[in-house]
Structures are given as C-alpha cells and as structure tokens.
Amino acid sequence: MTDDPSANPRQAARWGWAWACAVWAVAWALMLHFDGRIGLAQVAITLVLAAALAAIWLPLVSSLASTAAAVLAFDWFLVAPRHTLRVAMTEDFLLLIEILLLSWVVAALLARGRVLARRARRSARHAEQMRSLGDALREAEDPLQRGQALRSALADLLGQPAKLLLRGGALPADDAAAMTLGEPDAGELVGMWYCVRLCRQFGPGTGCEPDLPALHLPLRGGDGAGAAFGAALVPVHPLQMAAPEVLTQAQALCDQMGQLLHRAQIRREADAAMAHAQGQAVRNALLAAISHDYRTPLAAIMGAASSLRDLGAKLSPAQRERLLESIVAETRQLSRLTDNTLQLVRLDAPGVTLHLDWESADELAGAAIVRARKHEPERRIKVWAEPGLPLIRCDAVLFSQMLENLIDNALKYSNAPAPVELVVRRQAAHVVFAVRDSGPGVEPAWREKIFDVFQRGDWRAGSTNSAAQRGAGVGLAVCRAIALAHGGALKLRQRSHGGSSFECWLPEAKGPRVEESYAALEAGRT
Amino acid sequence: MTLRVLLVEDDRELCRILRDAMTAEGYQVFTAASLSESFALLTGLGAGVAAGCAPVDLVLLDLGLPDGDGEQLLATLRQRHAVPLIVISARESDGQKVRLLDAGADDYLVKPFSIRELLARMRVGLRHRGTSIVPAVTRYGLGALAIDLGTRDVLMDGAPVHLTPTEFKLLARLVRSAGQVVTHRQLLQDVWGAEFTEHTHYLRLYMAQLRAKLEANPADPQLLMTEPGVGYRIVEAPS
C-alpha cells in the first residue's frame, strides 16, 4: 500500500532526512555566526525557522524530537550561563519555552496538512481506479476479460495478484458451473465458495478470521443480500490492511464486478421470461388458428353426415350425392391441415433433419400436378419446366408438400375456369418454382403478413368468398418454413396482368456427375 | 372362388367400414385387431389349405397395433409366402414407408384414403401375385406405346424408340411391376447393382432421359410417375 506508487517510500524518507539535516546545519552555522552580534531573541527566530523548514520533510515524531534537541542545544551553547543547561534569566527561559512550543505547533500543523493531502491523493486515486475498472468492465467482451480487469485493479491496489471465482448459474453451484482465474488450489476454492455462500469478507483487516494469509472478498450485487456472484482472494500482509480505506476500496472494486454480474443475471432472467411469454403467445395463437381451421370443415362434415342420417329418405339422389361429396372434400381438407400442422411443428423444433437427396425439379413439379389433378379433376392445371434444369438438393416429401400446398392455395383463391400454372425455370443462379393463378390477387397490406401462421382475415383483393377465411395461414406458413429449411425463400409477386405468383427460390447447387467411365461404358454398349 | 383378405386393423370403426366395403365388393374378409390375433388367424386358416399355399389371398396391414408393430407380421409372412401385402398407416415417417416397401410390402396407403383407391390398389396387388402363378409380364402397352421385354422392342406409334441398355433395363424393371411403386433402392440395385444403391442422381438422369423419349411433355408425365421420396411407378396398362 503506497500513496504514490511511482516513488520508493524508503528513498523519499532518506531524502527528507538529508534536507532536514542540511537545514539544521545551515541554521546552526547562521546562529553561531550571529551569536554575540545581534540579540538572543533574533538568533532564536532562526531556530524557529529551521524547525519549521525541517518539519516539512520529517515525520511528526522526528520533527518534535529534533526540535526539542535543538532547543536544548541552543540553551547549552548560546544561553548564559553557557555550556550548562541552566538558564540565568527568566526572559531567556520564557524565550526557550516559546521557541519550543512554537516549533512544535508548526511541526504538528505541517504533519496534519501532509496527512490530509495524502488522504486526498488516495481518494483521487481510488476514484480513478474505480472509473478505469468500470471502463474496462464495460469494454470487456466476455466474463474472462472482465475477471482479468478486476484482477489487475486489485493487483494495482494491493500489490499482489488476485484469484477469482465467478459463479455461473444459481446456487447450489459446483466447481464445474463456476469459472476461476489465477488457478486457486483446492483449499483456496473452499474458502472462496464459503465467501460466496455467506457473502462476507474475511481475512486480515476485516475483523473476521484476521489470521488467514489472504483477504477473501465477496463480489456482491444488488442489495448485498443472498449469495455473492463470486469471490476474490488476495494474499496480503496484515500491515497492508492497517488503513481501513484499503479494505473499503478493495471491496468497492469487487462490488462493481458483482453488480455487473447481477445486472447480467437480471437481464438473462428477463430475456428468458420474455422468450417464454412469447413462446406461450405463439403457441396460443397457433392453437387458436388451428382450432378455428379445424372447426370449419368439421362443421361441414357434421352437417352433411347428420343430414344424410336424419333426412336421408327425404333427399333426392342428387342432394345425397352432393352431401357425400362435401364430406369427402372436407375430410381431405382436414387431412391436409393435419399434415401441414404436423410439418410446421416438426420444422419449428430444434435440430430438425431433412432427408436431402438429389432430386429432379421437373419430376417434383410433375408429381405435384398429378396429385392436384386427382383431387380437383375438373380444374385446369398446367405445368411447364425449362429444359435442362439442374438437379436440386432437397427433401422430396417436404418439397412436394410445399408445391401441393401452393397449388391447393392457388386453386382455392382463383375462379374456376381460369387455369393454375406451375412453372419451373432457372433465374439468377436459382431454380424457381412459381405457382401462378389469375385470381384477384392479394391486398398490398397482406403481402408479407400472408405467410404468418397467426394472421387471419380476408387478404384477397375484393374478396367475397367465405373460403378465404379458411386456413391459408397454416398452409402458407408451412410452405415458407419448408423453403427456408432448404436455404431458399418463398416470395409473393403480383402478376402484371392480374393474379398472384407464389415463388419458391432455391439456390442452385453443384450437382453430382454420373461417373464418366460409366457413361463411356453406356455409350460403348449403345 | 371368393378371394380371402386378412384385414389387420385395431381401430374398430375403420375396421368395420373397410370390412363392409370389401364384403360388398365380393371379398371374404377376416379381421384381426392385434398381432397375436392375426398370427392365430393365419395359423387356423393355414391348416385348411394345401401345404405351401398362402392361407389368404391378400393382407391389409395396419402398423401400430396394441401388442406390437405390423412390421413383425410382414417379416414372418415374407419368410413363407408371396401373398400380396398392402400397408395402411397414418403417415409416421417417409423413411418407414420406403423401408416397408424394401422389406417386401407390395404397396402402402396413407390414412386417410378413399375406399375406391384401396380397392384399386388391392386389384393391382392381386393381379401380380398370390391368386395363381401369374406369367411374368413381358408385354406392355399404353396408348401409342408398346413394349416387348422378350424381343427388347420399344415402339411409339409403331416406330422403334432407341433406348440405351441402361434405359431399357430401367424401363423393363418398372414394366415388370407395372402399377406398383418400385423404390429407388430396388431400382438402383436391380439396374446398376448393389453398390449403387445410394446413387439416386443416376436414377434422376436416366428417368429424365426415358421421359424425354417416351413422354409427350416430360414435365407433365402420363406414363412414368414419380412418388416423391419413395420411388417410381409406371402406369398400369389396361388389361
């Protein structure tokens, strides 16, 4: 512990003594020179002056002692009767007493001033230490760097490298969940954990376990209640801790780190709570959307089936046929909805794996068209694929589901005689699957929201069809999730002459080659 | 002779609907709701037929049964008989479908399905195996296309279509199972060899070449159908 770390205290003391001795020597030379030429009182002023000057450099006790010795010497050499300590005249005796008291008062005042100045310097340096630790903690990018900043601040204050323990999660924690700096041994770790759990300082200067070789300081956060966020251990000499400000300062440095950790923990907890709440909201919205989508076809099935059961005999064959058709169609709708919902949940789960393989783009398009025609035989569905398309790397089942959904969507939202087209082409290093309809298009306000599973409402321009209220949400949301899972994108483009084009853009991948030897063999056999 | 069908399905409602529909079509239907029941039924029925003959003509198998997985029945049945077997299941995973087809299932249907589709698939299954020793398919004709596997002739509107040896092998493999899905693995193994079963890109390229030669619009196939993630199927020729 030093007031000015740049200076060696022992050397400074030595210089102080040298200056004081020089002052006294000059003063004595002057006094002996003026002895007998001027009055004793005037000579005595020189002594007072010398005592005051020497007090600037000497410690208080030395200053008082040297002044007393100088007054005795003055009496011995200069006051009559000379070479005795006796004083003949009363005014000389008074003079000696006044010189002594005056010099002592001056020395005491100077010493007091020095102490105050030293304290002010120390406070300034402590404030500077706190500020620079604060800066270092703010700039640090990870707990390791923050720990190093605290260690260097403590080393600066106490002159010894500190060891740190930073606790990770909540208590009860173990060594595995905590981070240590400075390689504390097992015994030191026990002490530090003790310090963390009790959130108390102990060791020299703390009034608790003063015989320990090291100072244990908790990193306190918040109001200091509960467990600390870590502990610092610094080997110190009891003498170092004599000034209480040192302990206060060391604890303040540790608390600065503790508060930072506390704030970080609060932020983490708040983030987790918010994520949980959002997840809950997302699930609730998803469930609400899905149950709404389920209820509609279920109501239709219920209505048709109960009509057939209760009124079957009164219905004409054509009416019965219509009801049966409606049951089949609505059941298919439910089945599609279930597939989409399951797929959405699956794609949303962490660590989802796709069964990627090299697939032919026109095959996937063709298969999707075949299925769509099977379900809607009366609708016109056209497909066109650019010749020479490269193979694409995708999960065929997922990708087919996306294409079927898009075609289904286009069929649902465009009017019956107009055809739906599936066009596959190459564009800007992508393979683009575009499902085009010539329906009324999508309102501008809905163009981005339409892919959001939770968005409900009538997004079609000038819509009058109640079918628009049905789950486009889940269908398009799963399409977008599938496109994203393949590293692609799903975009909605308004066609210049009316209608929408839902486009899946898939980046072109460098496909495998059929081994040349095999191709050569094939050519030879042909 | 009435064709005998074993229906293994644990959902009572679905079981009843399917049984009624098949009975209306003229099949004799035996139902089992569990794996043990189906084994017992097969043993009982097997006692009444000549050794070596299958106890039933066709099996419809649900996978998730209360006392085990339908795959066990498939494995046991395949060790002894070539009886057609169609899996009916809620879609669990696509890998499972392929595995079942590779393990010897003739077809699969994902719930929910229409009765019409089920009956059509059953007819295809029965035509291929089981009821009698069906002569190997060597001739195939659909629309303008005529294929004779014996003479290796492929004619389109009477004009020969030139196919490379690999293209012909691939087409022949599909024709032999016309109407049925042949998995990628089966095709790669039978046409290229066992060491090529992971090279699906071969299939993509050769199927594209075949379609270019045989289809009017390769992107809108009418003959060579794709079952995404599973395999290929050539449309069954009208008999």
Tokens linked to A170: 């909540």
Q: Which residues of B touch A395 (CB under 8 A)?
A: 229
B70 and B85 Cβ atoms separated by less than 8 Å: no
Helices and strands, number each (H, E), in chain A = 12, 11
Tell me, what's the pLDDT at A426? 93
What average pLDDT score do residues A192-217 get?
Answer: 87
Closest CA to B106 of B81, B88, B93, B87: B87
Q: In this structure, are A213 and A339 located in the same domain?
A: no
CB contact (8 A) between residue B165 and residue A522: yes
B-interface mutation test, from A331, A397, A526, most B Cβ less than 10 A away: A397
- Is there a domain that residue A383 lies in? yes
Q: Name the band, by pLDDT with cuts 50, 70 and 90, for residue A98.
A: very high
Tell me, what's the pLDDT at B52? 59
CB contact (8 A) between residue A383 and residue B226: no
- Domain end residue (candidates: A271, A303, A334): A271
Q: Name the band, by pLDDT with cuts 50, 70 and 90, for residue A505.
A: very high
Average pLDDT, chain A: 83
d(CA B46, CA B56): 8
What percentage of chain A exceeds 70 in pLDDT? Answer: 89
| A266, HSE (Cβ side, Cα atoms, 13 Å) | 8
Q: Which residues of A touch B94 (CB under 8 A)?
A: 355, 397
Chain A's closest residue to B201, CA to CA, is A358
Q: In this structure, are A258 and A190 located in the same domain?
A: yes
State whether residue B130 sits within 8 Å of chain A by CB: no
* Alpha-carbon distance A335 to nearest alpha carbon in chain B (angstroms): 7
The domain tally of chain A equals 4
A107 and A67 Cβ atoms separated by less than 8 Å: yes
* Alpha-carbon distance A334 to nearest alpha carbon in chain B (angstroms): 10
At what angle are helices A143-158 and A90-139 packed, to 10 degrees? 170
CB contact (8 A) between residue A364 and residue B114: no
Q: In this structure, are A369 and A494 located in the same domain?
A: yes
Q: Name the band, by pLDDT with cuts 50, 70 and 90, for residue A403.
A: very high
Least confident of A2-6, A445-449, A499-503: A2-6
Q: Which CATH architecture has domain B139-234?
A: Orthogonal Bundle (1.10)
Q: Name the band, by pLDDT with cuts 50, 70 and 90, for residue A344.
A: confident
Q: Which residues of A touch B225 (CB under 8 A)?
A: 366-367, 370
Tell me, what's the pLDDT at A519? 60
Residue in A363, A399, A522 closest to B166 by CB: A522
Asked if residue A167 has pLDDT above 90, the reply is: no
Q: In this structure, are A497 and A361 located in the same domain?
A: yes
Asked if residue A297 has pLDDT above 90, the reply is: no
A438 and A498 Cβ atoms separated by less than 8 Å: yes
pLDDT tens string A300-335: 898 899 889 888 888 889 989 989 988 988 898 888
Q: Which residues of B touch A512 (CB under 8 A)?
A: 199, 201
Q: In this structure, are A251 and A362 located in the same domain?
A: no
CATH number of A208's domain: 3.30.450.40
Q: Which of residues 138-177 of B touch A (CB under 8 A)?
A: 164-166
Tell me, what's the pLDDT at B29? 93
B-interface mutation test, from A332, A333, A362, A398, most B Cβ less than 10 A away: A362
pLDDT tens string A225-272: 677 888 999 988 888 787 788 888 899 989 888 888 888 888 888 999
pLDDT tens string A25-55: 999 999 999 988 888 888 889 999 999 999 9
Residue in A383, A400, A424 closest to B228 by CB: A400
CB contact (8 A) between residue B219 and residue A384: yes
CATH number of A334's domain: 1.10.287.130
Q: In this structure, what DSSP letter does residue B2 have?
A: P
Q: Name the band, by pLDDT with cuts 50, 70 and 90, for residue A455.
A: low
Tell me, what's the pLDDT at A286? 73
Q: In this structure, are A69 and A193 located in the same domain?
A: no
CATH H superfamily, domain B4-128? Response regulator (3.40.50.2300)
Q: Name the band, by pLDDT with cuts 50, 70 and 90, for residue A97.
A: very high
CB contact (8 A) between residue A367 and residue B227: yes
What average pLDDT score do residues A120-146 get?
Answer: 87
pLDDT tens string B12-54: 888 988 999 899 888 999 999 998 999 888 888 877 666 556 7
Q: Is the pTM of this model over 0.95?
A: no
CB contact (8 A) between residue A366 and residue B164: no
Q: In this structure, are A286 and A339 located in the same domain?
A: yes
Q: Name the band, by pLDDT with cuts 50, 70 and 90, for residue A81.
A: confident
Q: Which residues of A touch B220 (CB under 8 A)?
A: 366, 369, 382-383
CATH number of A477's domain: 3.30.565.10
- Is there a domain that residue A405 lies in? yes
Helix (H) / strand (E) element for B232: namely strand B231-234
* Alpha-carbon distance B225 to nearest alpha carbon in chain A (angstroms): 7
Asked if residue A422 has pLDDT above 90, the reply is: yes
Q: In this structure, are A242 and A341 located in the same domain?
A: no
What average pLDDT score do residues B100-117 get?
Answer: 86
CB contact (8 A) between residue A367 and residue B226: yes
Tell me, what's the pLDDT at A33? 92
Asked if residue A105 has pLDDT above 90, the reply is: yes
Tell me, what's the pLDDT at B50? 62
- Is there a domain that residue A293 lies in? yes
pLDDT tens string A347-362: 877 777 888 889 999 8
* Alpha-carbon distance A316 to nearest alpha carbon in chain B (angstroms): 23
Q: In this structure, are A323 and A452 located in the same domain?
A: no
For residue A287, give every residue at least 6 positions away whose Cβ sits within 8 Å of its Cβ, in sequence order, or none.
none
Closest CA to B31 of B49, B52, B4: B4
Tell me, what's the pLDDT at A101? 94
Tell me, what's the pLDDT at A291? 77
CB contact (8 A) between residue A424 and residue B219: yes
**3 state DSSP class of A211:** coil
Q: In this structure, are A367 and A304 located in the same domain?
A: no
* Alpha-carbon distance B184 to nearest alpha carbon in chain A (angstroms): 11
Q: What angle do CA A226, A232, A235 make, to 5 degrees?
A: 140
What average pLDDT score do residues A370-396 get?
Answer: 87
Tell me, what's the pLDDT at A4? 47
Strand-strand pairing, B4-8 and B28-32 = parallel
Tell me, what's the pLDDT at A243? 78
- Domain end residue (candidates: A132, A152, A175): A132
Tell me, what's the pLDDT at A467? 43
Q: What angle do CA A125, A130, A131 make, to 5 degrees?
A: 95
Q: Which residues of B touch A391 (CB under 8 A)?
A: 201, 204-205
* Alpha-carbon distance A384 to nearest alpha carbon in chain B (angstroms): 6
What average pLDDT score do residues A448-475 get?
Answer: 57
* Alpha-carbon distance B228 to nearest alpha carbon in chain A (angstroms): 5
Q: In this structure, are A394 and A382 located in the same domain?
A: yes
Q: Which long-range contacts (CB under 8 A, 24 or more apart) does A220-226 make?
A: A220/A251, A220/A254, A220/A255, A220/A258, A220/A259, A221/A255, A221/A258, A221/A259, A221/A260, A221/A261, A221/A262, A221/A263, A221/A265, A222/A259, A222/A262, A224/A199, A225/A199, A226/A199
What average pLDDT score do residues B66-80 get?
Answer: 85
- Is there a domain that residue A514 lies in? no
d(CA A334, CA A340): 10
What percentage of chain B exceeds 70 in pLDDT? Answer: 91
d(CA A167, CA A163): 13
d(CA A268, CA A201): 27
Q: Which of residues 63-92 of B touch A (CB under 8 A)?
A: 91
Asked if residue A522 has pLDDT above 80, the reply is: no
Closest CA to A424 of A363, A479, A486, A481: A363
Tokens linked to A340: 């989409």
What average pLDDT score do residues A417-423 get?
Answer: 87
Q: Which residues of B touch A359 (CB under 8 A)?
A: 204, 228
ipTM: 0.74
* Alpha-carbon distance A467 to nearest alpha carbon in chain B (angstroms): 23
Tell me, what's the pLDDT at A469? 44
Chain A's closest residue to B115, CA to CA, is A328
Tell me, what's the pLDDT at A463? 46
Tell me, what's the pLDDT at A26? 94
Q: In this structure, are A488 and A359 located in the same domain?
A: yes
Q: Name the band, by pLDDT with cuts 50, 70 and 90, for residue A169.
A: low
Q: Name the band, by pLDDT with cuts 50, 70 and 90, for residue B129.
A: low
B-interface mutation test, from A354, A356, A363, most B Cβ less than 10 A away: A363
Q: Which domain holds residue A381?
A: 353-507
Asked if residue A293 has pLDDT above 50, the reply is: yes
List the domain boundaries for chain B: 4-128, 139-234
